């Protein structure tokens, strides 16, 4: 019997399994073993405070170049700690870090309220953050006017001077009166000016609502309550309603203008104590519900916010307000609501003089994140503030990064938008600076780049369940893997993300080999391909590899198309094939692999699964230049037999 007839007889008897597609199958997270130290989704941010020049600018009146250099340095710090967001204070004292028609330029920029700094800080900051693929959350203080109570120090055009009835003095500060409807409208308008004009990722309010209580002083709003408080039994409920109206209305306006912008608040860490309210936490500290009239629990239950970032600024085991107790309590509040929980972390306390002994332990902050892992509701952390992240006192930040931020993370998904289409890697080139990847723009907001060791023909869905293989993200269409070793063989995948971080399926893998690795593609147009004149040439199918492919009618005769390759050394090799698929093509195309122990055969259904690499299997090949893979016409089934391309990859031990 002819050798090829023997092969086909074996095929008929054994019924070799058909090649299956290498697209990523749907896999639930539960089916994958994930590393809690490398979560795929996690908000990681830091607050950049401008009031009193806490963080930026470092002092008022700096030159434009110096201001910009300082801000870039803060962003670079965030990137170096593998953060993905910054929360920048752009309206610290009823003023503006952008050219606002509502409020004056901030004094913290130039030293003089109302003085133009010579550029648009907001436009600059947003562009620089996005260039690093950091989310930019604009942080607004809603009611604070000034850190002193002398209105004459305000610029003459300041709305608080033009409308003296809108304000009151309390605790040595000037504050807008939350009980006046015109004030609420004005604050919302001032914030919405920034939302509509700039490419913000989030609108963020801090914990200053009604002023924190000062012993011996009473908030001077009795007349306002008499005017506007009808229907409320007491002034406290009316004050809470005033804040609730601002929160609800502002969130609605933000989402109506730009649905993708996140709206969130960083409230005081205690809502109410359980001794006061059974719904409260097992704590004994100041109650924001009662003291500053912030009903943060209600905001969650009503869905008025996308996230809360409560300032849980106490150590684990602190008797009055235990971090672990509060994290569990807040997790219970958001559970099932669709509102995300992000924890505000007290970086300013770590290693600082005068703090409790617990804060002199370099592991305290890191232990907070270990505690967070107990609660799936915790979506990330924000650190107060940037200068304390930079200071890294007692190595606390370094310890936290080493334990929890060894890999980048994608921000949590917001909303239910459809994921973008998968991108296509068009170049993967090893150079002196690493491996350079590129892909065409696809309309996505950002891209995530993954690397898997070795060469792989198919993406393992568990490789993307966490961030262990995530190299980084970018808003560009190119990325250089500077961590690639000179000798390593890698497979790269890229995914696309939209504005609310829904992620596409991974691209087809792009293999980059080291000097000792081997992978070769032989196309039907290459010199290594040989076929008789019975094989026609076509470019009919868009699933082709290269410019065209070959086709032939099935026949009971030996007329294979062969792919010749130079195999560098004996060893194990993965053999893959590429073909165009069509419902009218052959359902049992015989492929032949010239393995060292004799020809091996695989039947492939070419009616489906075309347009990408399909694995025939792993084979031991001899060294030398010879016909390694053949496509035979000898099949009893009908439909064209297709020969397009093969890929042969040496498997490293």
Domains, the chain, in order of start with CATH, read: 3-23+519-650 (2.60.120.260), 36-404 (3.20.20.80), 427-512 (2.60.40.10)
H or E element in which residue 106 lies: none
What 8-state DSSP symbol labels residue 397?
A: H
Q: Which of 23, 53, 43 is nearest to 86 (CA)?
A: 43
**CA-wise closest residue to 38 among 487, 470, 558:** 470
- The pLDDT confidence band at residue 4, using thresholds 50, 70 and 90, is very low
For the stretch 36-90, pLDDT in tens is 999 999 999 999 999 999 999 999 999 999 999 999 999 999 999 999 999 999 9
Helix or strand or coil: residue 399?
helix
Burial environment of residue 427 by CB neighbours within 10 A (0 to 12, 13 to 18, 19 or more): exposed
Q: Which of 627, 626, 623, 604 is nearest to 614 (CA)?
A: 604
pLDDT at residue 18, rounded to an integer? 27
Tell me how crowded residue 306 is: count the other CB atoms within 10 A of its CB.
Answer: 21
Phi then psi for residue 589, to 5 deg, are -75, 125
Q: Quick check: 48 and 389 in contact, CB under 8 A?
A: no
Burial 333-370 (b: 16+ CB within 10 A, else e): bbeeeebbbbbbbbbbbbbbeebeebbbbbbbbbbbbe
pLDDT tens sequence across 239-298? 999 999 999 999 999 999 999 999 999 999 999 999 999 999 999 999 999 999 999 999
* Greater pLDDT, 27 or 269: 269
Which are the contacts of 184, defined by CB distance < 8 A and separation ≥ 6? Answer: 178, 242, 245, 246, 249
Angle between helix 323-334 and 364-372 (nearest 10)? 30
Count Cα atoms within 13 angstroms, Cβ side, for 431: 9
Task: Look at residue 516 and tell me whether its pLDDT is greater than 70.
Answer: no
Rounded mean pLDDT of 388-396?
98
Those residues with Cβ within 8 angstroms of residue 189's Cβ, 6 or more apart along the chain or in another chain = 102
**CA–CA dist 102, 223 (Å, integer):** 26
Report the pLDDT averaged over residues 504-520: 84
284-339 per-position pLDDT tens digit: 999 999 999 999 999 999 999 999 999 999 999 999 999 999 999 999 999 999 99
> What per-residue confidence (pLDDT) applies to 6?
32
pLDDT tens digits, one per residue of 517-531: 788 889 999 999 999
Residue with tokens 């009316």: 238
Instruction: Give the pair of three-digit tokens for residue 273.
Output: 């104590």
When pLDDT is averaged across residues 364-374 and rounded to a whole number, the result is 98
Mean residue pLDDT of the chain comes to 93
With beta carbons less than 8 A apart as the criterion, state whether 637 and 595 touch. Answer: no
CB contact at 8 A, 49 and 344: no
pLDDT beyond 90 at 17:
no
Cβ-proximal residues to 12 (8 Å cutoff; 6+ apart), any chain: none
Query: What is the structure's pLDDT at 190?
Result: 98
Whether this prediction's pTM lies above 0.85 is answered by no
Tens digit of pLDDT for each residue in 469-492?
A: 999 999 999 999 999 987 778 899
Asked if pLDDT for residue 455 goes beyond 80, the answer is no
Cα 193–Cα 195–Cα 199 angle in degrees, nearest 5 = 130
CA distance 435 to 490: 10
Backbone angles phi, psi at 130, to 5 degrees: -70, -30
Confidence at residue 489, expressed as pLDDT on a 0 to 100 scale: 82
529-557 CB burial, b ≥16 within 10 A, e <16: bebeeebeeeeebebbbeebbbbbebeee
Q: Report pLDDT for 514.
A: 74
- What is the rounded distance in angstroms from the CA atom of residue 345 to the CA atom of residue 370? 13
Q: What one-character-per-residue DSSP string does 3-46 give?
A: HHHHHHHHHHHH-PPPPPP-SPPP--GGGS---TTS-SB-EEEE
How many residues in total does the chain contain? 653
Rounded to whole angstroms, the Cα distance separating 492 from 587 reads: 32
Distance CA 80, CA 95 (A): 31
- SS3 of 393, please? helix
Distance, CA of 93 to CA of 99 (rounded, Å): 15
Q: Mean pLDDT over residues 355-375, rounded?
A: 98
CA dihedral 576, 578, 584, 585 (to 10 degrees): -50
């Amino acid at each position: 019997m002819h050798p090829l007839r023997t092969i086909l007889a074996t095929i008929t008897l054994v019924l070799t399994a058909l090649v299956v597609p290498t697209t990523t199958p749907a896999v639930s997270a539960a089916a994958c073993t994930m590393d809690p130290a490398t979560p795929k989704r996690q908000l990681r941010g830091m607050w950049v405070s401008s009031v009193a020049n806490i963080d930026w600018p470092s002092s008022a009146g700096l030159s434009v170049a110096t201001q910009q250099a300082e801000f870039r340095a803060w962003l670079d710090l965030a990137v170096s700690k593998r953060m993905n967001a910054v929360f920048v204070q752009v309206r610290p004292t009823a003023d503006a870090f952008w050219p606002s028609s509502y409020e004056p330029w901030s004094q913290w920029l130039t030293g003089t309220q109302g003085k133009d700094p010579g550029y648009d800080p907001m436009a600059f900051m947003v562009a620089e953050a996005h260039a690093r693929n950091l989310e930019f959350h604009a942080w607004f203080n809603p009611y604070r006017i000034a850190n002193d109570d002398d209105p004459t120090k305000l610029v003459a055009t300041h709305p608080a001077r033009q409308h003296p009835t809108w304000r009151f003095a309390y605790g040595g500060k000037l504050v807008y009166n939350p009980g006046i409807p015109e004030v609420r409208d004005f604050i919302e308008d001032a914030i919405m000016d920034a939302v509509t004009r700039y490419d913000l990722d989030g609108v963020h309010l801090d914990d200053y609502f009604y002023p924190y209580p000062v012993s011996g002083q009473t908030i001077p709003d009795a007349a306002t309550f008499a005017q506007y408080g009808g229907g409320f039994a007491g002034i406290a409920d009316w004050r809470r309603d005033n804040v609730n109206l601002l929160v609800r209305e502002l969130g609605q306006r933000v989402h109506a203008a730009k649905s993708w912008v996140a709206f969130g608040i960083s409230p005081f860490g205690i809502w109410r104590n359980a001794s006061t309210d059974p719904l409260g936490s097992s704590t004994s500290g100041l109650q924001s519900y009662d003291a500053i009239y912030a009903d943060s629990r209600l905001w969650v239950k009503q869905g008025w916010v996308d996230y809360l970032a409560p300032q849980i600024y106490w150590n684990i085991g602190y008797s009055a307000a235990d971090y672990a107790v509060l994290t569990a309590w807040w997790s219970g509040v958001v559970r099932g609501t669709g509102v995300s929980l992000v924890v505000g972390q007290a970086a300013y306390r770590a290693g600082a003089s005068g703090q409790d002994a617990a804060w002199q332990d370099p592991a305290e902050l890191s232990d907070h994140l270990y505690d967070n892992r107990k609660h799936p509701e915790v979506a990330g952390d924000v650190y107060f503030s940037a200068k304390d992240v930079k200071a890294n006192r007692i190595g606390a930040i370094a310890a936290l990064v080493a334990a929890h931020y060894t890999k980048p993370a994608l921000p949590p998904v917001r909303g239910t938008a459809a994921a973008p289409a998968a991108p296509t890697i068009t170049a993967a080139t090893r150079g002196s600076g690493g491996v350079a990847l590129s892909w065409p723009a696809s309309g996505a907001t950002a891209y995530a780049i993954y690397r898997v060791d070795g060469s792989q023909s198919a993406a393992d869905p568990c490789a993307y369940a966490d961030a262990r293989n995530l190299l980084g993200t970018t808003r560009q269409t190119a990325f250089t893997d500077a961590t690639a070793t000179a000798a390593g063989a890698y497979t790269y995948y890229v995914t696309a993300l939209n504005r609310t971080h829904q992620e596409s399926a991974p691209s087809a893998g792009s293999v980059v080999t080291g000097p000792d690795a081997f992978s070769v593609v032989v196309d039907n147009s290459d010199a290594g391909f040989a076929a008789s004149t019975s094989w026609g040439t076509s470019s009919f199918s868009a699933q082709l590899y290269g410019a065209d492919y070959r086709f032939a009618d099935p026949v009971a005769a030996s007329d294979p198309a062969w792919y010749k390759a130079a195999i560098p050394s004996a060893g194990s090799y993965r053999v893959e094939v590429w073909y165009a698929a069509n419902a009218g093509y052959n359902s049992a195309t015989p492929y032949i692999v010239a393995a060292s122990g004799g020809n091996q055969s695989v039947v492939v259904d070419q009616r489906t699964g075309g347009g990408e690499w399909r694995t025939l299997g792993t084979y031991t090949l001899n060294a030398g230049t010879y016909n390694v893979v053949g496509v035979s016409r000898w099949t009893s089934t009908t439909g064209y037999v297709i020969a397009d391309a093969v890929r042969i990859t040496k498997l490293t031990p």
